[in-house]
Amino acid sequence: MAQIINGKQMATDIQDDLRKEVQQFVAAGNRAPHLTAILVGEDPASERYVKNKVIACKDVGLSSETIVLPAATTQEELLQLIEEKNSDDNVNGVLVQLPVPEHIDERTICNAISVDKDVDGFNELNIGRLALDMTGIVPATPLGIKTMLERSNISTFGRNAVVVGRSKNVSLPLAILLSSDGRNATKALDATVTICHRFTPPKELAKYCRLADIIVVAVGKPGLITKDMVKPGACVIDVGITKVMDEAGQVKLVGDVDFDEVRQVAGHITPVPGGVGPMTVAMLMHNTIQAAKMQARCAKRNH
């Protein structure tokens, strides 16, 4: 029976450490790091995500503000607000909760956030730096998964990993972190990595999964990963999160992995909810603190 990786507990532990880091930072004469979250329109899921981020900020001792803009906000107006926050020395991290309404170009928004305040790590320059194994801000979900593997002592060096999905916010950065050289600045994981996606035939997906010591799935298809696709003892990380109705008519959240079946063969498995989700939030806190520290160092140098 697989060991369940308790993402919630791990995130709590990490946030305990981050709280101390913030206290030291403040004790050294700095303001508490400040995160600005911008939400455009009314989407219940987005509102819940932002609320969780604000709770985490309080927990670790960051100050935060949530700016809610009407759905009809123009791209120009949003860009102007971002520019304001970019040049406000009291703001250390800026994020725009995705998705944005359709009349706004997501990529333009991600690139508008100044690279040193881009705590989501979605700016094209941060993605480029990650691809080159350079110091930068790493998107929170892949960073959270890397941290989970490390904290669970899952060996990755020279092991086989599969990433199912090819999103630019999760799967691609994760594939880069899994496959790249551990001796470089990102301390990557040196695994052999296969990227599967919507056009990978099901038979091939199963074949690659069965070869894998680590399977990470991030597509949003409940039940995609079944027991027969998992090598005994493999580590299975489930990034999927889909709302479904259970037999009793209750809404619940499920991942992409058939959890009850797969846990019988896997060596490690993450639950949904309580797996990757809380780690993402903890890593956002980490990124905001690192951004604030870097900005403080730069400000000192420029004096």
By CB under 8 A, name the one of 190, 206, 226, 227 that touches a second copy. Answer: 190
Smallest gap from residue 178 Cβ to a second copy (A): 9
Quote helix, strand, coil % in the chain, to nearest 5: 45, 15, 40
> Measured from the CB atom, is 91 or 193 closer to a second copy?
193
Which residues inside 78-117 make contact with a second copy, applying CB under 8 A?
A: 107
Question: How many other CB atoms are found less than 10 A from the CB of residue 296?
Answer: 17
Instruction: Note the helical H segments in the chain.
Output: 7-27, 44-60, 75-86, 106-112, 124-131, 140-151, 171-179, 202-211, 259-262, 276-301
Phi, psi of 237 (to 5 degrees): -110, 125
194 lines the binding site for a second copy (CB under 8 A) = yes
Q: Tokens representing 234?
A: 């493999």
Which range, of 27-35, 78-86, 187-195, 259-267, touches a second copy by CB under 8 A? 187-195
> Measured from the CB atom, is 16 or 181 closer to a second copy?
181
By CB under 8 A, name the one of 74, 158, 228, 264 that touches a second copy. Answer: 158
By CB under 8 A, name the one of 73, 97, 126, 270 that touches a second copy. Answer: 126
Q: How far apart (Å, rounded) are the C-alpha atoms in residues 41 and 103?
A: 12
Query: Mind giving me the DSSP string for 117-158?
Result: T-TT--SHHHHHHHHTT-SSPPPHHHHHHHHHHHHTT---TT
Which range, of 86-94, 127-135, 221-229, 288-296, touches a second copy by CB under 8 A? 127-135
By CB under 8 A, name the one of 133, 238, 256, 258 that touches a second copy. Answer: 133
Q: Which of 116, 117, 118, 120 is catalytic?
A: 120
141 lines the binding site for a second copy (CB under 8 A) = no
Q: How far apart (Å, rounded) are the C-alpha atoms in residues 4 and 200?
A: 28
Residue 162 — left, alpha, or beta (φ > 0 → left; ψ -120 to 50 → alpha)? Answer: beta
17 a catalytic residue: no
53 a catalytic residue: yes
Distance of CA 253 to the CA centre of its chain: 18
CB 64 within 8 A of CB 285: no
Query: CA-based Rg of the chain, rounded to a whole angstrom?
Result: 19
Which range, of 36-44, 188-196, 234-242, 284-292, touches a second copy by CB under 8 A? 188-196
124 lines the binding site for a second copy (CB under 8 A) = yes
Smallest gap from residue 75 Cβ to a second copy (A): 17
Q: Which of 53, 85, 117, 146 is catalytic?
A: 53
134 lines the binding site for a second copy (CB under 8 A) = yes
204 lines the binding site for a second copy (CB under 8 A) = yes
By CB under 8 A, name the one of 8, 19, 151, 207 that touches a second copy. Answer: 207
250 a catalytic residue: no
66 Cβ partners below 8 Å, 6+ apart?
A: 37, 38, 39, 50, 54
Which range, of 44-52, 197-205, 225-233, 294-302, touches a second copy by CB under 8 A? 197-205
Buried b (16+ CB within 10 A) or exposed e, 186-225: bebbbbebbbbeeebeeeebbebbeebbbbbbbbeebebb
Smallest gap from residue 128 Cβ to a second copy (A): 3
Q: Which residues bind a second copy (CB under 8 A)?
A: 107, 123-129, 131-134, 157-158, 160, 166, 168, 172, 175-176, 179-181, 190, 192-197, 199-201, 204-205, 207-208, 211
Active site (catalytic) residues = 53, 97, 120
